[in-house]
């Protein structure tokens, strides 16, 4: 008897630079769990990175490799999941093209992130065809594997809803080919960066997965705290301190409780408090640092993992595209 089919998962990220501990808590830890119970495909979406960063592509390849190293160091296991680069699987582009025929432009203009990003990213011209079609490409990423579950952050829910609409429209026009994928959101607290703003690579305030233990230590020890604590004797308020937010994400309940009490009555200093945090953070990051060191010694292995991932992903994507072409009665040039 063949083992029961595991539900299929697809998710991805754009390779736009180093990933940080917010991504670890928000996405990667969840992916690492999912690979035990689900059939998982994880895509490094380099074409998606091009939709906004098309002018300077000089870093793209390095970012792809770095992202693979970040994922593997976080614990994704190529024996348990398929991790691959979007552009290694050209079937995504073919499906994107075919889907683009049936997606009304008004659906795309309605996506909240479309107008927002165009306004926010003022230093680049985003009035492109490719940027408008971003969610169609994302839908192709998901549908080309007929994935059932898509773990994403809440900011991606509108894209997922659009993907479901596209699947429904395709099925209504040409017959049932695609399941309607479900979003799977993980509620994770927003992590502050070292300057107290949201942790983000664009603010330069992130603790990256590629930071060694000395970097992590330095970044935490120089992190901003409650400004009311000018000296060790001034009581503070953990509720306005970003270090406390990190405690809530990484420290034990005992430590969180202790900081909550002792900060308010100046029972501990900020350096003590940060050392408590490091005591919890360091064991968590230790295995990541070890895996990263091994991968950096053997970059050929990273390339091999991505090549094998693309091979597995492509086999699946090809099967779907055969059904898609048949459903749409597209001539394959092979008499079928
Ligand atoms: N749009 C996603 C993001 O910015 C990345 C992404 C591309 C994605 N393709 C996907 C996520 C498919 C889930 C499924 O985070
Ligand atoms: Fe922040 Fe900790 Fe200092 Fe309180 S003791 S202000 S929680 S760093």
| Any atom of ligand 1 within 6 Å of the Cβ of 86 | no
pLDDT value of residue 2:
60
Percentage of residues in the chain having pLDDT higher than 70: 99
Q: In this structure, which ligand is nearest to the CA of 140?
A: 1
Q: Which two tokens stand for residue 220?
A: 């935490």
Nearest atom, ligand 2, residue 274 CA: 8
User: Nearest residue CA, atom 7 of ligand 2?
Assistant: 238
Domains of the chain (ranges, CATH numbers): 8-191+299-328 (3.40.50.620), 211-294 (1.10.240.10)
pTM: 0.94
pLDDT score at 324:
98
Q: Which of 14, 19, 150, 162 to mutate to test the pocket of ligand 1 (most atoms within 8 A of CB)?
A: 14
**277 Cβ inside 6 Å of ligand 2:** no
Nearest protein CA to atom 3 of ligand 2, as residue: 270
CA 122 to centroid of ligand 2, rounded, Å:
37
Q: What pLDDT is attached to residue 336? A: 53
pLDDT digits (tens, 9 = 90+) for 219-255: 999 999 999 999 999 999 999 999 999 999 999 999 9
CA atoms within 13 A on the CB side of 54: 13
Note the ligand closest to the C-alpha atom of 145. Answer: 1
**What value does the mean pLDDT take over residues 197-208?**
94
Ligand 1 neighbour 143 (Cβ under 6 A): no
Quick one: pLDDT at residue 120?
Answer: 78
- CA geometry: angle at 133 spanning 181 and 87, to 5°? 75
Q: How far is the CA of 273 from the centre of ligand 1 (A)?
A: 37
Q: What is the DSSP string of 261-293?
A: HHHHTT-S-HHHHHHHHHHHHHHHHHHHHHHHH
Q: Tens digits of per-residue pLDDT, 148-202?
A: 999 999 999 999 999 999 999 999 999 999 999 999 998 777 899 999 999 998 8
Q: Taking 90 as the threshold, does the pLDDT of residue 259 lie above it?
A: yes
- How far is ligand 1, taken at its centre, from the CA of residue 14, in Å? 7
* Percent over 90 (pLDDT), the chain: 87
- Span 15-69, pLDDT tens digits: 999 999 999 998 999 999 999 999 999 999 999 999 888 989 999 999 999 999 9
DSSP state of 20: B
Q: Is 78 in the pocket of ligand 1 (CB under 6 A)?
A: no
Instruction: Tell me the CA–centroid distance for residue 327 and ligand 2, in Å.
Output: 61
pLDDT at 202: 87
Gyration radius of the chain's alpha carbons? 22
pLDDT at 1: 57
CB of 226 sitting under 6 A from ligand 1: no
Contacts of 104 (CB under 8 A, 6+ apart): none
């Amino acid at each position: 008897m063949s083992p029961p089919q595991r539900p299929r998962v697809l998710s991805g990220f754009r390779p736009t630079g180093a990933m940080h501990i917010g991504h670890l808590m928000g996405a990667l830890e969840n992916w690492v769990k999912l690979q035990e119970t689900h059939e998982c495909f994880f895509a490094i979406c380099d074409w998606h990175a091009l939709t906004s960063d098309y002018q300077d592509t000089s870093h793209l390849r390095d970012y792809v490799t770095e992202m693979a190293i970040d994922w593997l160091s976080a614990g994704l296991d190529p024996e348990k999941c398929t991790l691959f680069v979007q552009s290694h699987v050209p079937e995504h582009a073919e499906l994107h093209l075919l889907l683009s025929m049936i997606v009304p432009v008004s659906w795309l203009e309605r996506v909240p992130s479309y107008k927002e990003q165009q306004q926010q990213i003022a230093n680049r011209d985003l009035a492109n065809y490719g940027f408008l079609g971003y969610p169609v490409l994302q839908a192709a990423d998901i549908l080309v594997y007929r994935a059932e579950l898509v773990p994403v952050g809440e900011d991606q829910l509108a894209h997922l809803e659009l993907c479901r609409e596209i699947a429904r429209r395709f099925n209504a026009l040409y017959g049932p080919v695609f399941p309607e994928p479900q979003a799977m959101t993980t509620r994770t607290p927003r992590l502050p960066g070292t300057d107290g703003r949201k942790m983000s690579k664009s603010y330069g305030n992130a603790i990256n997965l590629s930071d060694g233990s000395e970097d992590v230590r330095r970044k935490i020890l120089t992190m901003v705290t409650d400004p009311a604590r000018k000296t060790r004797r001034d009581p503070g308020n953990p509720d306005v301190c970003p270090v406390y937010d990190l405690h809530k994400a990484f420290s034990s309940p005992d430590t969180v409780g202790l900081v909550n009490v002792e900060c308010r009555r100046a029972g501990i200093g900020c350096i003590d408090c940060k050392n408590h945090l490091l005591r919890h953070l360091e064991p968590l990051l230790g295995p990541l640092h070890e895996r990263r060191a091994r991968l950096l010694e053997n970059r050929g292995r990273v390339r091999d993992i991505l090549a094998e991932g693309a091979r597995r992903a492509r086999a699946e994507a090809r099967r779907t595209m055969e059904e898609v072409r048949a459903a749409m009665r597209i001539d394959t040039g092979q008499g079928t």
